[in-house]
Amino acid sequence: MVVTFALPKGALLKDSIQLLQRVGFDFSAFLDGNNRQLQIADPTGQAQALLVRSQDVPIYVSYGQAQFGIVGEDVLQEKTADVAKLVDLKFGRCYMAIAVMQCSPYRSVMELPPHCRVASKFVRSAARYFRELDLPVELVPLYGSVELAPMTGMAEAIVDLVSTGRTLRDNGLVEIEFLYESTARLIAHPLSWRLHDRRIHEVVHQVRRCLEHGM
């Protein structure tokens, strides 16, 4: 059986490839700046990988085009794709937070006025959080430079992913609430996992063993 991995473009790719190399699969060709292939095979012939946008990783896995995927928890919180979350891979650590302008009078979420505007790329996460607080807000979906929304007066606050916090600080914003931590996760096609496919469980065991001995 040839195992297929859906790997995310961007920040998680290098760590994902290094982990899989320790497991025995080499997809380092994706790190070659001259490479334009979106599907490559491991030299052993036992596995292949697809290079896709991180938001698409759960979709490829849920539709069965890949048995495994590596993706951030932030993406999984936004998607409704049916996948099995198997292993916290511990890299790509960041967190979801609510931020306002430093000059804002609001210093906690509960100080935000009802029906105020909150901008975010992570609309599902934001909606779920404010619904649990029973605080009605108007969510403004944005897909880039979310920090501009409060800077221009379009929104009182943002919900966004934070790594070092430098982007917020450089644009005059300050965090007022932590929502959840996000790290890279190994996910699998749920049917393959539930059927106890031997090859699937063998890969998961190898990944867990690598993590126990440190990346």
Domain boundaries, the chain: 3-92+183-212, 94-180
Q: Left, alpha or beta for 92 (phi > 0: left; psi -120 to 50: alpha)?
A: left
Domains 3-92+183-212 and 94-180 share a fold: yes
Element (H, E) at 85: strand 84-88
- At residue 190, the pLDDT reads 83
Q: Under 8 Å CB-to-CB from 123, ≥6 apart: which residues?
A: 78, 139, 141
State the residue for tokens 């599902």: 124
Residue 193 pLDDT > 90:
no
Residue 26 three-state SS: coil
Distances (CA, A) of 54 to 9, 12, 17, 78, 209: 6, 9, 14, 11, 25
Give 4-30 pLDDT, tens digit per residue. 999 999 999 999 999 999 999 999 999
Are the beta carbons of 58 and 52 closer than 8 angstroms?
no
Are the beta carbons of 23 and 203 closer than 8 angstroms?
yes
- At residue 196, the pLDDT reads 63
- At residue 33, the pLDDT reads 84
Cα–Cα distance for residue pair 90/104, rounded to 1 Å = 34
User: What's the CATH number for 3-92+183-212?
Assistant: 3.40.190.10
- At residue 205, the pLDDT reads 92
User: What's the CATH number for 94-180?
Assistant: 3.40.190.10
